Chains A and B, each alone.
Chain A
Amino acid sequence: MSVRTEGKDAGSGGDTLGRDAKTPVLQVEHLVKHFPVRKGVFGRRVGEVHAVSDVSFEVFKGQTLGLVGESGCGKSTTGRTVMRLLEPTSGVVRLQGQEITAATNPRDLARDMAFVFQDPFASLNPRLTAAKNVTEPLRIQGAGDAAQRRARALELFAHVGLREDQLDRLPSEFSGGQRQRIGIARALALSPKVVILDEPVSALDVSVQAQVLNLLKRLQAETDVAFLFISHDLSVVRHLCDRVAVMYLGKIVEIGDRAQVYDRPLHPYTQALLSAVPVPVPGARRNRIVLQGDLPSPVNPPKGCRFRTRCPKAQAICAEKEPELASRTGAQLVACHFADDDRSMV
């Protein structure tokens, strides 16, 4: 079964203006992913890790949705489940309106959606030359002969700022930043509609990180590809993303346009998160909201609101009723009973 719509570039009716925010290329609805917790010699199932619990979002054509949160919030699992590297427990993922199911041929899926991994030292096949790594997607699709694939590799290399004489080198001969360029080139090899990027710049030094971020911006402007950008770095997300979803313990607690979320965060967790990031301005003492305690176990997430155990605003109702992700005072969606009480930091 193919998830491809007719004509690769006719997705939005030949819209040449590009940024058509009305076209969700990727829709994720009520996505759930649980991992069994096994114990003992016989692998008895003693519980479940609620890694992703009822997550819904859309990614629009030519735009970037940032998925942010701290470690263990389920952002990476979400990305991998959307890409079908993990089988979802339940929920629906639609790519260009077509539902992806267990019956979907992974090869068809790979034509429209690609993945960029975090570790530039581990995500390339060390035995293949850069050119062959970049054109693996074409080989798997059976597209083109060797000469055509090489031509495409050259094209992609130019696209991501690598030189022709580097085509036949092995990954080990490249620096981290260059390897990440190769990883990005590989993701773009089939001109996909959506690219999921899982912490693509986290392993890079800042000077190189900026190069890759600029590259991603340029590539998006040129190809109108949609990005799902998974990151723990709030500054990077602010720089790159059009919309932002904040995750906590397997759930999206706030989602909205970048300006809304960063300038007027409504969820207490978003507020705390933003206030915790050190800013490179000496003496910029801000009203820091210091969260108490640690992340609760995702095996037994708190009843009601999952954030309530660390929330400075928690009330009795938070333990009883789980807040819905809904529009409250601002334009963004927030999952908090007291989101109206705007105490955003300045």
Chain B
Amino acid sequence: MTASPATSAAVAPRVATRRVRYSARQKFLRSTSGLIGTLVFLVLVVIAIAAPLIAPDSPLKRAGDALQQPNAHHWFGTDELGRDLFSRVIYGTRLSLETAVGAAALSCVVGLPVGIVTGYLGGWVDAVIMRVTDFVLAVPEILFALVVVATLGSGVFKLTLAIGIGATPAFIRLARASTLSLRDTEYVLAARSMGAAKRDIMFRTVMPNILPPIFVQIVVTASVAILVAAALSFVGLGTPPPAPSWGGMLQTSRSYLYQQVWYAILPGVALAITVGALDAIGRGLQQALGTETATKASGAMG
């Protein structure tokens, strides 16, 4: 007989690990990158909203001599027209975030439902829409925006529109792919077996369940929008002067690099911080949503 009774099985009572299941929200808040990114981004939002309170001077009016070095009145000096650099960068936050939020919102609001509908319904609608998105996707975002702005003319709104349209196909593809992967899951079949209408299934059953990757995409789009907007302003096709756009400031600063080094550094740093914060949020979201997608819905029942 080879049954070997284990005698040492009666171990000292060990502390049972408490059963904890983290929701995606908790996981996100526990990820350092997500947390820092969110905090930085919130600060940026406050700066954008409270720009008139924070900025010491007007972003557009002359506040003293041109190209001053940093001093007590102008912490980072002035530009070639004597405007306070710090104030211009502060107001620039507003412009950047407007473009970012606008472009991300536009592309999501259009792309998400279109993607879900094509993914769920399939057939020729799907084929046509996918060919169009393939075409737009084949053109680099910046080139696309460039063409749109060149045809429509410049301006904050048009810039946002151009970037938003350019970013829409990515949302369509993502929403479509996510929908396709859900279309034959049992809970979608279950909704069908309950007699739910197609619209109901698409927007009540499918949509909430594909939101996690969409959230990530929104953040990525916002970050790309800021960069594209800056790049277009840099080549003179974005926000027209005298609006205090970071890209525009970078462009002008090139001529004065030796007189006023802060002119280039300040908007550059602002740009880097904003994009960095968004990327950090994106990473945090991806981490949090990758493993546990179900966030705890609010307990309130109708």
Shortest beta-carbon contacts, A-B, top 7: A110-B195, A107-B195, A146-B302, A123-B186, A115-B193, A106-B195, A117-B186
Q: Any chain A CB within 8 A of the CB of B252?
A: no
- B residues 189-231 in Cβ contact with A at 8 Å: 189-197, 200, 205, 208-209
* Stretch of A5-13, A34-42, A129-137 with 4 or more beta carbons under 8 angstroms from chain B: A129-137
Q: What 16 new A-B contacts, CB under 8 Å, besides A117-B186, A123-B186?
A: A83-B193, A105-B195, A106-B196, A110-B195, A123-B187, A125-B191, A125-B205, A127-B208, A127-B209, A128-B297, A136-B191, A140-B196, A150-B301, A167-B301, A173-B21, A186-B194
Interface size on A, residues (CB 8 A): 39
A117 contacts across to B, CB distance below 8 A: 186, 189-190
Contact at A85–B187, with CB atoms within 8 Å? no
- B residues 247-293 in Cβ contact with A at 8 Å: 292-293
A107 contacts across to B, CB distance below 8 A: 195-197
Instruction: Give the docked Cα–Cα distance between A171 and B301 (Å).
Output: 16
B18 contacts across to A, CB distance below 8 A: none
Instruction: Give the docked Cα–Cα distance between A243 and B282 (Å).
Output: 56
A128 contacts across to B, CB distance below 8 A: 297
Instruction: Give the docked Cα–Cα distance between A125 and B204 (Å).
Output: 10
Of the candidates A80, A137, A146, which one forms a contact with B301 in the assembled complex, judged by CB atoms under 8 Å apart? A146
With known contacts A114-B193, A124-B187, A170–B301 Cβ distance under 8 A:
no
Contact at A168–B299, with CB atoms within 8 Å? yes
Q: Any chain B CB within 8 A of the CB of A96?
A: no
A80 contacts across to B, CB distance below 8 A: 189
CB distance from A98 to the nearest CB of B (A): 15
A171 — nearest CB in chain B belongs to which residue?
B294
Instruction: Give the docked Cα–Cα distance between A173 and B192 (Å).
Output: 24
* B-contact 0/1 string along A167-185, CB 8 Å cutoff: 1101111000000000100
Instruction: Give the docked Cα–Cα distance between A106 and B299 (Å).
Output: 31
Q: Any chain B CB within 8 A of the CB of A126?
A: yes
Contact at B200–A140, with CB atoms within 8 Å? yes
- A residues 34-67 in Cβ contact with B at 8 Å: none
Instruction: Give the docked Cα–Cα distance between A173 and B197 (Å).
Output: 28
B301 contacts across to A, CB distance below 8 A: 129, 131-132, 146, 150, 167-168
Instruction: Give the docked Cα–Cα distance between A115 and B189 (Å).
Output: 9
Q: Any chain A CB within 8 A of the CB of B185?
A: yes
Q: Any chain B CB within 8 A of the CB of A332?
A: no
Instruction: Give the docked Cα–Cα distance between A119 and B209 (Å).
Output: 18
Q: Any chain A CB within 8 A of the CB of B296?
A: yes
* B-contact 0/1 string along A70-94, CB 8 Å cutoff: 0000000000100101000000000
A-B contact pairs, 25 of them (CB 8 A): A105-B195, A107-B196, A108-B195, A110-B193, A110-B195, A123-B187, A123-B189, A123-B190, A125-B190, A125-B191, A126-B187, A127-B208, A129-B297, A132-B301, A137-B194, A137-B195, A140-B195, A140-B197, A140-B200, A146-B302, A168-B301, A170-B296, A172-B21, A172-B294, A183-B190
* B-contact 0/1 string along A256-268, CB 8 Å cutoff: 0000000000000
**Residues of A with Cβ closer than 8 Å to B?**
80, 83, 85, 105-111, 114-115, 117-119, 122-129, 131-132, 136-137, 140-141, 146, 150, 167-168, 170-173, 183, 186
- B residues 136-177 in Cβ contact with A at 8 Å: none
CB distance from A142 to the nearest CB of B (A): 11
B297 contacts across to A, CB distance below 8 A: 127-129, 170
Instruction: Give the docked Cα–Cα distance between A114 and B189 (Å).
Output: 11
Contact at A85–B294, with CB atoms within 8 Å? no
With known contacts A106-B195, A126-B293, A128-B297, A186–B208 Cβ distance under 8 A:
no
Of the candidates B186, B194, B292, B293, which one forms a contact with A114 in the assembled complex, judged by CB atoms under 8 Å apart? B194
Residue from the set B185, B194, B208, B293 with the largest chain A CB neighbour count within 10 Å:
B194
Instruction: Give the docked Cα–Cα distance between A170 and B24 (Å).
Output: 13
B292 contacts across to A, CB distance below 8 A: 172
B196 contacts across to A, CB distance below 8 A: 106-107, 136, 140
Contact at B190–A115, with CB atoms within 8 Å? yes
CB distance from B222 to the nearest CB of A (A): 24
CB distance from B142 to the nearest CB of A (A): 34
CB distance from B280 to the nearest CB of A (A): 26
A125 contacts across to B, CB distance below 8 A: 187, 190-191, 205, 209
With known contacts A146-B301, A146-B302, A170–B294 Cβ distance under 8 A:
yes
CB distance from A204 to the nearest CB of B (A): 15
A131 contacts across to B, CB distance below 8 A: 301
Instruction: Give the docked Cα–Cα distance between A115 and B191 (Å).
Output: 10
Contact at B294–A186, with CB atoms within 8 Å? no
A110 — nearest CB in chain B belongs to which residue?
B195
A120 — nearest CB in chain B belongs to which residue?
B186
Contact at B190–A106, with CB atoms within 8 Å? no
Of the candidates A124, A127, A129, A136, which one forms a contact with B194 in the assembled complex, judged by CB atoms under 8 Å apart? A136
B189 contacts across to A, CB distance below 8 A: 80, 85, 115, 117, 123
Instruction: Give the docked Cα–Cα distance between A131 and B256 (Å).
Output: 66
A171 contacts across to B, CB distance below 8 A: 294
Contact at B186–A122, with CB atoms within 8 Å? yes
